[in-house]
Amino acid sequence: MAYTSFEELEVWKRGCRVAVEIYEMMKGCRDFGLKDQITRSAVSIASNIAEGAERDSKPEFIRFLNIAKGSAAELRTQLYIAQRIGTLTPSDTKTLITELKQISAMLQGLITSIRNQLKT
């Protein structure tokens, strides 16, 4: 885990990109409850990565990475619902779901890497 700031982490960058994409896609959504829930979940991914990285504790970083992973799963669920009710297209949903699964895998890889560092 050779980095000096969370801004250097590719998973953080991708989390930010997803949040921006979500905001752009949801601009015209008039279901304000769903829109709010989806945008909060999207913002939470990169935000928790950043917060955990700044905690200056590997166990705390792992905890926040797990929260970010949970937010990615929450967002995936909300996207499936948004597609089913016609708020998002199947194509947009599929693209975002694929990216979120990759982000979750990257988060798990980072968690595993940090845990292994704690063992040594």
| Tens of each residue's pLDDT in the chain, 120 residues | 467 899 999 999 999 999 999 999 999 999 999 999 999 999 999 999 999 999 989 999 999 999 999 999 999 999 999 999 999 999 999 999 999 999 999 999 999 999 999 987
With H, G, I as helix, E, B as strand and everything else as coil, classify residue 102.
helix
The answer to whether 14 and 106 are in contact (CB under 8 A) is yes
Q: How many CA atoms lie within 13 A of 97 on its CB side?
A: 15
How does DSSP classify residue 54? T
How much is the pTM? 0.94
Are 61 and 52 in contact, with CB atoms under 8 Å apart?
A: yes
Q: Which fold has domain 7-119?
A: de novo design (two linked rop proteins) (1.20.1440)
